[in-house]
Chain A
Amino acid sequence: MDKSFFDQFLFVILPYLSLFTFFLMTVYRYRAQSFSYSSLSSQFLENEHHFWAVVPFHYGVLVITVGHLVAIFIPRSILLWNSHPLRLYILEISALAFGLLTLIGLVGIVIRRATTTRIRKVTSPTDWILFAMLLALVVSGVAMALLHPWGSSWFASNLTPYLWSIFKLNPDITYVTSMPALVKFHIVLAFLTVGFFPFTRLVHILVIPNPYLWRKPQVVRWYGKKQ
């Protein structure tokens, strides 16, 4: 197959397919099956190892996710921060640390699910596919941090423009085609995960509660008043 077509497929067509599926299906699922939006907690069935798997994973993944978002939306802040080598080291090392935390948590999650019969009962085939994808995503991410250092800088300077070219409907893949294979793998997998997102338990990220901290403690509903 033509190499440039292959690149076009992986870095243009696939991202658009994924993003399209993501937006369409999350909205559709929320409207048609809002009952299915749940974190599907399994703490009730197994409470001993739960903490040691779910908590490190979430602290790790949240920091890493926010890091990615900052690099996408305010890349200059990262470049500015990294202009000083010491600060660059600090950022790189903490990113790696949180990446490892995510990895440890995720491995914990998978082991816990695989070894507890009760939890296996509430684990669907979709869950296993998702865990495999996340595992590959996190492993490739950590490997990149080790093999291709200063990711925070080259993400902000090379990948952010690529992502924006996609968002602006004017795709320009010159930035990505020259990247090492590992990075390409990570990008493709990330888009696949985004497309798969609405069909998985990950939708719980979209319903994180926010008015809670401000609302009055008691909630009362009256007939005839729309909630």
Chain B
Amino acid sequence: MNVRSQVSMVFHLDKCIGCHTCSVACKNVWTDRKGAEYMWWNNVETKPGTGYPTKWEDQDKYQGGWKKNGNGKLEIKSTGKAKIIPNIFHNPHMPSLDDYYIPWTYDYQNLFNAREGSDQPTAKPISMIDGEEVDVESGPNWDDDLGGSPIYAENDPNLEGLTDQQKLQLSSVERLVFFYLPRICNHCLNPTCVASCPSGALYKRGEDGIVLIDQKKCRAWRSCVSACPYKKTYFNWFTGKSEKCILCFPRLETGQAPACFHSCVGRIRYLGVLLYDADRLEEVAKLPDDELVEAQRSMILDPNDPTVIAAAKKNGITDGVIDSAQHSPVYRFVKEWGIALPPHIEYRTLPMLFYVPPMSPVQASKPEDTIHHESEEFFHDIDSSRVPMQFLANLFGAGHEGVVRYALAKQKAVRWHRRAETVGDIDRETADRMLRAADCTREEADAIYELTALCTFEDRFVIPPMHREQAIEMMKEPHEHRTEAGFGFVGGPRRGL
């Protein structure tokens, strides 16, 4: 057993209101710079929808993630190993600016400088890259709330495997449905971005698993941009370096939650440590699609198990981190309750951001039938919910419905249990039968309810002590370090000639 710790995340999709506060918080802190205008390290997309960059989940186009080759080994789909040699000059699968959007501002000067005339002067949109006038056609959240639209929703790659009837229903006016999917870098356990970098500029921090790009080592070979299946590494067109979400490590190191977590209006975000067995990485990443979710879960170790604690200590994991792991909200959602699922685990990067799948409105019309909310089949409304199960399974279950259904059924059981407790319109016995059917106890249901609905800052963010100051003192004079802390370094990141 090779125990490592990873700062991990849960996003509770049932609570996301799609307000984009998280995106704006991140933008203001990190990417409001030349070359990064188009980057949204945190973005929120509407599902079904095409997302940002457009159709990022279409791996036939972008070739992100890993694939198993003939002799059962994992191989980077885009430009792994030898394939980089002929492709280093021109990366065949890299998205370009037009796959994201052209960042724009407005020509406000014209409001002051326009010649006197009979019309009001206007501020025309101009590109933030070359200053040319642009005809704005897309933006980072251009599919916002457009469930059912023929341009966005109907082109969602997750519609694969749905019946024609299901697809038709998704775009019929009475049945329109959508939910939000906020996304940041998943700080994966088996990241393709790291594995693909010819310069070895990307790395995972040993102590907390945060994935970073060494700005001094990056040489703009752009492999990571193609290799990340989630399109969460971005190319800065001005500095000639790739950049990505840094999980606000300067904030984490000082005990604060990342900006997007901190500002989240729906309070959907949870952060905490998971301990996992790094020895099993390769074996797990190679398993068949339908075993991946369970296998990744089985890599996550019980932080209260004495053998795990001993092995963790042997690997130099501090008591503070172990204690933090024991109180991790992520551990409860992912491992204890099994209701948080990794996105697209079939890309085999083993993402460490997990989503609680959203409950969706019940089907509102059924020909020649009325919907009964109480039924002997407790979970009928999950199976016939407006977001087809197969769609959610494509997102969170590598195409397999079992794990998604489990997570939704448990959430529903929790609701009924709470209704029996507080409203009383459901009798206790029915609620208990429902809990049993959903593999849940009353205690567990209350715990889920509390962490979902009543959670405070301290409940949601259990940030481990990172001891960064000690590490810095070991390597550097603290006064010298002070002048270069944060994102930059002495002299500033200047573009080369």
Is the pairing of A and B real? Answer: yes
Task: Assess the B206–A44 pair: CB atoms within 8 A.
Answer: no
Task: Assess the B198–A212 pair: CB atoms within 8 A.
Answer: yes
Which residues does chain B contribute within 8 Å of A40, judged by CB atoms? 220, 240, 495-496
The reply to whether the CB of A83 lies closer than 8 angstroms to some CB of chain B is no
Given contacts A118-B129, A209-B221, A218-B195, whether A200 and B471 have CB atoms under 8 Å apart is no
The reply to whether the CB of B454 lies closer than 8 angstroms to some CB of chain A is no
The residue in chain B whose Cβ has the minimal distance to the Cβ of A203 is B496
CB neighbors of A among B455-476 (8 A): 467-468, 470-471, 474-475
Binds B, one of A93-101, A121-129, A138-146: A121-129
The reply to whether the CB of B112 lies closer than 8 angstroms to some CB of chain A is no
CA distance A144 to B91 in the complex (A): 34
Chain A to chain B: the 10 pairs with minimum beta-carbon distance, closest first: A36-B496, A223-B471, A209-B198, A217-B195, A222-B206, A47-B96, A38-B240, A40-B240, A219-B203, A126-B497
The reply to whether the CB of A117 lies closer than 8 angstroms to some CB of chain B is yes
The residue in chain B whose Cβ has the minimal distance to the Cβ of A127 is B497
Closest Cβ–Cβ distance, residue A193 to chain B (whole Å): 14
Closest Cβ–Cβ distance, residue B496 to chain A (whole Å): 3
Task: Assess the A121–B96 pair: CB atoms within 8 A.
Answer: no
Q: Apart from A201-B497, A209-B198, A220-B206, what 4 extra A-B contacts exist at CB < 8 Å? A: A118-B130, A122-B238, A204-B220, A212-B200
Which residues does chain B contribute within 8 Å of A127, judged by CB atoms? 497
The reply to whether the CB of A33 lies closer than 8 angstroms to some CB of chain B is yes
Which residues does chain A contribute within 8 Å of B89, judged by CB atoms? 54-55, 58
Query: Hey, what's the 0/1 contact readout for B469-497 against A, CB within 8 Å counting as 1?
Result: 01100110000000000000101011111
Residue count of chain A within 8 Å CB distance of chain B: 49
The residue in chain A whose Cβ has the minimal distance to the Cβ of B129 is A118
Per DSSP, chain B at the interface is: loop
Binds A, one of B12-20, B211-219, B369-377, B398-406: B211-219
The residue in chain A whose Cβ has the minimal distance to the Cβ of B35 is A122
Which residues does chain B contribute within 8 Å of A217, judged by CB atoms? 76, 194-195
Closest Cβ–Cβ distance, residue B195 to chain A (whole Å): 4
The reply to whether the CB of A168 lies closer than 8 angstroms to some CB of chain B is no
CA distance A36 to B494 in the complex (A): 7
Which residues does chain B contribute within 8 Å of A212, judged by CB atoms? 81, 84, 197-200
Q: B residues within 8 Å of A by Cβ?
A: 76, 81-82, 84, 89-91, 94, 96-98, 127, 129-130, 132, 190-191, 194-195, 197-200, 202-207, 215-222, 225, 235, 237-241, 467-468, 470-471, 474-475, 489, 491, 493-497
Which residues does chain A contribute within 8 Å of B198, judged by CB atoms? 209, 212
Give which listed residue, A33, A38, A58, A121, contacts B491 with CB less than 8 A: A33
CB neighbors of B among A23-67 (8 A): 32-47, 50-51, 54-55, 58
The reply to whether the CB of A224 lies closer than 8 angstroms to some CB of chain B is yes
The reply to whether the CB of A215 lies closer than 8 angstroms to some CB of chain B is yes
Closest Cβ–Cβ distance, residue B158 to chain A (whole Å): 26
Closest Cβ–Cβ distance, residue A51 to chain B (whole Å): 5
The reply to whether the CB of A76 lies closer than 8 angstroms to some CB of chain B is no
Task: Assess the A44–B96 pair: CB atoms within 8 A.
Answer: yes
Which residues does chain B contribute within 8 Å of A226, judged by CB atoms? 475
Closest Cβ–Cβ distance, residue B247 to chain A (whole Å): 15
Given contacts A40-B220, A47-B96, A54-B89, whether A220 and B494 have CB atoms under 8 Å apart is no
Give which listed residue, B81, B94, B216, B475, contacts A47 with CB less than 8 A: B94
Task: Assess the A55–B90 pair: CB atoms within 8 A.
Answer: yes
Which residues does chain B contribute within 8 Å of A200, judged by CB atoms? 497
The reply to whether the CB of A211 lies closer than 8 angstroms to some CB of chain B is yes
Closest Cβ–Cβ distance, residue B416 to chain A (whole Å): 44
CA distance A50 to B235 in the complex (A): 16
The residue in chain B whose Cβ has the minimal distance to the Cβ of A212 is B198
CA distance A74 to B220 in the complex (A): 33
Which residues does chain B contribute within 8 Å of A211, judged by CB atoms? 200
The residue in chain B whose Cβ has the minimal distance to the Cβ of A54 is B89
CA distance A212 to B199 in the complex (A): 7
Closest Cβ–Cβ distance, residue A52 to chain B (whole Å): 9
The reply to whether the CB of A221 lies closer than 8 angstroms to some CB of chain B is yes
Which residues does chain A contribute within 8 Å of B237, judged by CB atoms? 42, 44-45, 122
Given contacts A43-B222, A50-B90, A120-B130, whether A220 and B203 have CB atoms under 8 Å apart is yes
Task: Assess the A37–B496 pair: CB atoms within 8 A.
Answer: yes
Give which listed residue, B194, B471, B475, B496, contacts A35 with CB less than 8 A: B496
The reply to whether the CB of A199 lies closer than 8 angstroms to some CB of chain B is yes
Q: Which of A37, A39, A43 has the most CB of B within 10 A?
A: A43
Which residues does chain B contribute within 8 Å of A201, judged by CB atoms? 496-497
Task: Assess the A37–B81 pair: CB atoms within 8 A.
Answer: no
Closest Cβ–Cβ distance, residue B254 to chain A (whole Å): 16
Closest Cβ–Cβ distance, residue A176 to chain B (whole Å): 31
Q: Which of A39, A118, A122, A217 has the most CB of B within 10 A?
A: A217
The reply to whether the CB of A147 lies closer than 8 angstroms to some CB of chain B is no
Closest Cβ–Cβ distance, residue A212 to chain B (whole Å): 4
Enumerate 13 A-B pairs (CB-CB under 8 Å) in ascending A order: A37-B219, A38-B218, A44-B235, A46-B96, A58-B89, A118-B130, A120-B130, A204-B220, A207-B199, A209-B221, A217-B76, A219-B204, A223-B468
Task: Assess the B474–A224 pair: CB atoms within 8 A.
Answer: yes
Given contacts A33-B491, A36-B496, whether A41 and B468 have CB atoms under 8 Å apart is no
Closest Cβ–Cβ distance, residue A196 to chain B (whole Å): 10
Given contacts A39-B240, A207-B219, whether A45 and B202 have CB atoms under 8 Å apart is no
The reply to whether the CB of A1 lies closer than 8 angstroms to some CB of chain B is no
Task: Assess the A38–B219 pair: CB atoms within 8 A.
Answer: yes
Task: Assess the B94–A35 pair: CB atoms within 8 A.
Answer: no
